[in-house]
Each structure stands twice: as C-alpha cells, then as structure tokens.
Chain A
Amino acid sequence: MTILTFTIILLLGAYLAGLAGSLTGLGGGVVIIPLLTLFFHVDIRYAIGAALVASIATSSGSASAYVKEGITNIRLGMFLEIATTTGAVIGAILAIYTPVNLVAILFGVMLIFSAAMTLRKKHEGALLEGSKLSYKLKLNGSYPTKDGMVDYKLKNVGAGFSIMTVAGMLSGLLGIGSGALKVLAMDTAMKVPFRVSTTTSNFMVGVTAAASAVVYLQRGYIDPGIAFPVIIGVLAGAFTGSKLLMKIDVKKLKLIFSIAITLIALNMIYNGINHKF
C-alpha cells in the first residue's frame, strides 16, 4: 500500500468517524484508534496522537454552533476544566509508564462503557433547588427549549469534579474525549439537564485534549501523514453529521453503533491481552 492509498482510505474512515461521532455524541476519537490499529496496524501511539487531533477537531467544530445557541454552560465548563486538564496532564505522565497493551485493554473497556452510556435513559428534568456550592460557584444557569428559557440548578459539585478528574486522566492516557464519563459526571451526579450536559461536555473536550496534545506533539505521537487526512475527514464528517442530526432519527443508529463499538472493543481487549500491540 502506498501513502496515497493509505491517505484516501484513512480520509474516508475519518469522515465516517466524524459522522458517526457527531450523530451519536461519542466524538471522533473512538473510531479512529481501532481503525488505525486493527485495520492499518499502525502503532497505538500514533493512533492516540491522531485520536487527540480528531477529538479537538470534532469538539471545536460542533461547539462553535452549540455555544452560539446558548445551550452550553460556559462557567460550568470552565470550572470543570480545572479537573479535566489536571487529569489530562496526569494521564500524559502515566502514559510513559503504561505498557501499550494495557492502554489497548483500557481503551476497550472505556469503549464498552461509552457504548452502554449512549443507550441509557436520559433525564431532561431541571432541578429547582441546587446545593450551596452550586450558588457560590455560580454554576446554575438557564437554557433555551421549545417552551422558552428553562432555569436549572445543580448539586453534588464535589462528586462531579472528581469524576471529571478521572475523565481527564483517561482522556490524557487514551487520546479520546471521554465524553461518556463527562456526561456521567454532569448528568448523573450533578443533575444537569441532558442537552446542557452533552453540549458542555463537548465544549470541554477540546481544552482537555489540547492539554495532553501539547505533550504528545513534543513526544512525536502526532504524525503529519496521519494527522492531515484525520483533521479533514473528521471535520467534514462532523459537519455532515450536524446537518443530518436535525433530519433523522438517531435511535436505531445509536443501537447499531453501540453494538459495532462493543465488538471492536472486545477485539481490542483480546489483542491487548495477547500482546498484539
């Protein structure tokens, strides 16, 4: 295979990754790593570099739209970014001491968890009374719905912050956005309405990934020959996805995607255990 064929297939794959990532809310990184490692047999370290680039591209690309609509809670995102960036730096340091096959196994486990998270029931309700800390830190907000602006409050700030640190760590170690863990922290622990937690999580992914990308760039994980088809493909895919999202019912798609991802994850774990990386 020449570089030209490699680039064209990767471009197509990255496009599908961006498309699927934006339709299901999982981000571009989760598909990029298995595509590169299992299909192209690229070393997982280059794959992690590429996934970070993909995560930043999807996050920034779609956040630009969500932020303007006023759904994203910028203060909440900013505050929790303290946790995720700290985690990301820790993750980037841990990566030096983590054997690649363990990285592959962890990635597989994270993938299965993400698949399960996309299928769970979402709660759309807004809390009327928040915890003391939520007022002190000005984390409560309002967001536009079909029935006008809805105010919401949140609680369990400490628990949310702790889960976010773990999410950041995994993001730094695996190169993915760990959107599933971020949504878990905001949705399940802090009781943020679903649409706010998804968009705020997406908003945070860019900064979290950038915190570890600056390290990985210097370590030589980000190869230009892999990065450019990934950036272009993922951006184009995410753009198509955001247009399609309004028109199609993603329920079935999410189910199919979750099953596919679980199979890929099992493959990664199997290969990881057998030291195929």
Chain B
Amino acid sequence: MKTKETKKMTDYDMEQLIGQVLRYGVLLSGSVAIIGGIWYLFQQGSRIPHYTKFTGEPAGYTSFNGIYKGLLSGSATEIIQLGVVILIATPIIRIIFSLVSFIFEKDKLYIVVTFIVLAIILFSMFGGLAI
C-alpha cells in the first residue's frame, strides 16, 4: 500500500492493529456461534419457536455469570451467547487498543477522548440500566 510512506508510521500501525482486532473478533464470534448453533439445532431443532410473545430471556443468557455457568454444563444456548458476547466485546476491545496506541503516540487529547468513550460504555454495562 502507498499509504505507508505518506502517513505517520504510528497511525499506520494503529490502523493495521485495529483491523486485525476487528477481523479476529468477528471470526472467533462467528465460529463459536456456529458450534453452539449446530449443537442447539441438534438438541432442540424439532421444537416450536416461541418468539411472538416477549418474555425476556431467562437469567442464564443475560449475565456473564449465567453464561459462564451454562458453559460449564455444556449448554448449547450459552455457547451461542458466548459468541454474542465476543461479538459485542470486539468493538469495545478495539477502543482499548486505540487507547493504548494513543498512549504510545503521546496524543493527550485523544487519550482523554478515548477514555471518555470507554467510560460511557462501562457505565452502560454496569450502571444498572437493565431494569
């Protein structure tokens, strides 16, 4: 790529790194979802779906603890949820990598900006908004 010479090396490195993080995150999440999905169909494929009425998912799928417990017992639905969690985590991990890159570049302004975005997401995660 021609961009190598024209861009600051550090910014170019960050772009490649972020690209990799996103790619592997998506691939990993997809693979986990396929494994869980096939198992899920094997177990429950002949049952009737129940999505016309919203009941909210049982606690097992909705918390890290619940997913972890389900994984230990080898439950298919929790394996799929692990894939979902990896997918949701991918852009968040991308932010953490950007934060580290900005620290290396000593870009104070963007260390602060990235930190704010991360803080908002953490607040959303642990702020008790689920109700």
A positions within 8 Å CB-CB of B = 1-4, 6-7, 36, 40-43, 45-46, 53, 56-57, 59-61, 63-65, 67-70, 72, 74-75, 78-79, 81-82, 85-86, 88-89, 92-93, 96, 137-138, 142, 144, 148-149, 206-207, 209-215, 217-229, 231-232, 235
A89: contacting residue among B20, B22, B80, B124, CB under 8 A: B124
- Please give the distance in Å from B69's CB to the nearest CB on chain A: 15
User: In whole angstroms, what is the CA distance A232 to B33 when docked?
Assistant: 7
Known contacts A63-B19, A218-B62, then 16 further A-B pairs from the complex at CB < 8 Å, ordered by chain A residue: A1-B49, A6-B49, A43-B54, A56-B88, A65-B19, A78-B98, A82-B117, A85-B117, A206-B94, A207-B94, A215-B124, A217-B62, A223-B51, A224-B40, A232-B37, A235-B30
Known contacts A224-B77, A227-B80; decide if A212 and B124 are in contact (CB<8 Å).
Answer: yes
Q: Are B90 and A60 in contact (CB under 8 A)?
A: yes
The size of the chain B interface, using a CB distance under 8 A, is: 75
Contact A227 B33 (CB under 8 A): yes
Contact with A along B105-122 (1 / 0, CB 8 A): 001011001101100110
Given the complex of chains A and B, what is the CA–CA distance between A12 and B56 in angstroms?
25
**Residue among A2, A36, A40, A217 facing the most chain B CB atoms (10 A cut-off):** A217
Tell me the smallest distance from the CB of A59 to a CB of chain B, in Å: 7
- Say whether chain A's binding surface is mostly helix, strand, loop, or mixed: helix
For the complex, give the distance between the alpha carbons of A181 and B88 in Å: 22
Q: Which of B62, B88, B94 contacts A219 (CB 8 A)?
A: B62
A-B contact pairs, 22 of them (CB 8 A): A3-B46, A4-B41, A56-B87, A60-B25, A64-B20, A69-B1, A70-B1, A70-B12, A75-B110, A81-B95, A82-B120, A149-B3, A210-B90, A210-B121, A211-B120, A217-B85, A220-B55, A224-B76, A225-B77, A228-B40, A231-B29, A235-B30
- Say if the beta carbon of B72 comes within 8 Å of chain A: no
> Contact residues of B with A, CB < 8 Å?
1-3, 6-7, 11-12, 14-16, 18-20, 22-23, 25-26, 29-30, 33-34, 36-37, 40-41, 44-49, 51-58, 61-63, 76-78, 80-81, 83-85, 87-92, 94-95, 98, 107, 109-110, 113-114, 116-117, 120-121, 123-125, 127, 129-131
Specify which of A2, A86, A207 is in contact with B45 (CB 8 Å cutoff).
Answer: A2
A68 and B48: CB pair below 8 A? Answer: no
In the bound complex, do residue A74 and residue B95 qualify as a contact, i.e. CB atoms below 8 Å apart?
Answer: no
B109 touches A138 (CB 8 A): yes
Closest partner residue, chain A, to B11 (CB atom): A74
**Residues of B with C-beta under 8 A to A64:** 18-20, 22-23, 26
Closest to A168 in B: B120
Q: Which 6 A-B pairs have the closest CB atoms?
A: A220-B56, A220-B57, A206-B91, A218-B130, A224-B80, A228-B37
Would A207 and B124 be within 8 Å (CB), given that A74-B98, A93-B129 are in contact?
Answer: no
Which chain A residues lie closer than 8 Å to B40 at the CB level?
Answer: 224-225, 228
Shortest CB distance A64–B (Å)? 4
Task: Verify B46–A53 contact, CB threshold 8 A.
Answer: no
**Beta-carbon nearest neighbor of B5 in chain A:** A149
Contact B125 A227 (CB under 8 A): no
Checking B18, B61, B124 against A74 with a beta-carbon cut-off of 8 angstroms, the contacting residue is: B18
Q: Is the CB of B51 within 8 A of A226?
A: yes
From B37, B92, B113, give the contact of A210 (CB < 8 A).
B92
Chain B residues with CB under 8 Å of A96's CB are 131
A229 partner residues in chain B, CB cutoff 8 A: 37
Contact of A4 with B46 in the complex, beta carbons under 8 Å: yes
Asked whether, in the complex, the Cβ of A56 is within 8 Å of the Cβ of B90, the reply is yes
Say yes or no: A3 contacts B52, CB within 8 Å.
Answer: no
- Name the one of B15, B81, B87, B131 contacting A68, with C-beta atoms under 8 angstroms: B15
Most chain A beta carbons < 10 A, residue from B12, B91, B125? B91
Is A137's CB under 8 angstroms from B109's CB? yes
